[in-house]
Structure 1
């Protein structure tokens, strides 16, 4: 465990911000990470018939498990299993149905791989069952809306992703307004982190997510991405969930199938601004992006050296 201390000022290498993290080295599930010298790739596995991007392609249990294990083969460090879309425009899902969707995926992937498994849920009941089944992370996009969530995570020793969002789960926030989006997101995350710490969660259990597009319009998300280093200054590893989101599509005028290049460009900027975990649909391309970033910073050796040798 690491005592809650104020992080030192960030440093930089060229255009890249290297945030000073309270607990950069940590064990998550069955894997070790050093976020001072490493970026983790989180693969999205949605077991929903109405998911944002794949629209139910991996809803069948065997396809969801296969998608998770394929992501591992492509280099993903962990897989994020979800059973409920964030969008309020999809039918509501009971906790029982959510568990029926995600629990068998967690169980089967945990039995087949040492990959880190996170469960994308706002329900403490779902989180508790999945952690007992082999998940090591709760990816809570509501920022601890469920009053039991912090208690469940604290008692389990799991990692918690604290995400910036303002509306209740599965509810719209019409025309969101921010006077200073980066400052307000950072302040809200600091408040949510304080709630987590007060519940007994330790700093080395925490990851923060600024919530790209969550209760934000495209201009908000672009500015938040540009100023992501201000969020990284909080001292906890930052997760950037950028992949194929609407702000990429609206910025470029691209439909979801055509947002890969824009997603990778925004992801690269986020890495330079201090993000240390990226949540992605396109695993192989994202792994290459991360490994190139790490190699440029001197964190990773080239696979081979032949040119002009």
Structure 2
């Protein structure tokens, strides 16, 4: 299943990317088989609920997160990728910043690489250049461990657009065609609360780069800080943020709550159909 960026124009079709974290703290019962089993059950549920892309992550990128070795990350994500690809007809994205993980993932059928470092780490541009996978380039100021210490911008929108232009140029210089790229401004990655809401309010400005846009705000602290709710109780906030992003031109919404997001987008798509017909 290929994720064609050409098909993701304007308001339709908006794709829902379901988050599947296989970091040790993602599954309460620990044990390897149990976690693997649970992960596949979760994939099946997301597919039933209408997900378009499964995004597998083997290293936490939350603020303060510890780094994971390439070997450990490969051991977490590759067996799951292989199992999903052998059982289901679904697009799979691998959320990684490591060239060795990217290489293994591409070998075993990943459709997309989702990189919070936007292919800046050693060897990543080369690995992707030798493949035909879709790549999501994300903006992050700093590194996960320290990114929320004191993020500062001259102008958050302009600075991110400048960063994306540089990364697009780097990709094109490595013969990675622009049609393979997706952009994610990186909500919560080296951004203050004000930065995050400024980005959401002006999300449509990123469309000037003429590439599909991904928005990932699901359950993030930018919602918790406004709602004063813990992670499990941010569904309404997550859906509202997703709707605003879609209305501003997002092509992919990355979420934990697939069924509810699919429903919200169906209603939005229906409304758009009638507003265009008038």
Q: Give TM-score scaled by structure 1 length.
A: 0.82
Q: Which of 97, 119, 129 in structure 2 is aligned with 1:122?
A: 97
Secondary structure, aligned partner of 1:275: coil
1:50 counterpart SS class:
helix
Residues 1:35 and 2:6 are matched in the alignment: no
Asked if 1:136 corresponds to 2:79, the answer is no
Summarize the Cα distance change of 1:57–1:263 in structure 2 as closer, same or farther, 3 Å threshold.
farther
Unaligned runs of 5+ in 2: none
CA–CA distance in structure 2, aligned partners of residues 57 and 239 of structure 1? 31
Equivalence for 1:305 = none
1:278 is matched with 253
2:141 is matched with 166
Mark the CA change 1:33 to 1:77 in structure 2 (over 3 Å): closer, same or farther: farther
Match for 2:72 among 58, 73, 97? 97
Of 119-128 and 182-191, the range deviating more from structure 2: 182-191
Distance 2:28 2:270 in 1: 35
More helix by share: 2
* Structure 1 SS opposite 2:263: helix
Consecutive unaligned residues in structure 1, runs of 5 or more? 1-25, 300-309
| SS of the residue 2:25 aligns to | coil
Structure-to-structure mapping, 1:1-309, within 5 angstroms: 27-28=2-3, 33-36=7-10, 37-51=12-26, 60-168=35-143, 170-172=145-147, 174-298=149-273
Aligned-residue Cα RMSD (Å) equals 2.2
d(CA) in 2 for partners of 1:216 and 1:34?
A: 27
CA distance in 1, matches of 2:267, 2:220: 23
How far did 1:48 drift? Answer: 0.8
Deviations 1:142-172 (A, max 9, x none): 1222131122112110000000012246554
- CA deviations over 1:6-54 (Å, ceiling 9, x no partner): xxxxxxxxxxxxxxxxxxxx9428x994434200000000001235xx7
User: How many Å separate the matches in 2 of 1:171 and 1:96?
Assistant: 24
Native 8 Å contact 1:47 1:58 kept in 2: no
Note the alpha carbon deviations across 1:107-164, whole angstroms, 9 max, x for none. Answer: 0101111211000000011011011111110000112221311221121100000000
Residues paired across the two proteins, number: 271
TM-score, L = length of structure 2: 0.91
The 1-side partners of 2:95 and 2:167 are apart by 17
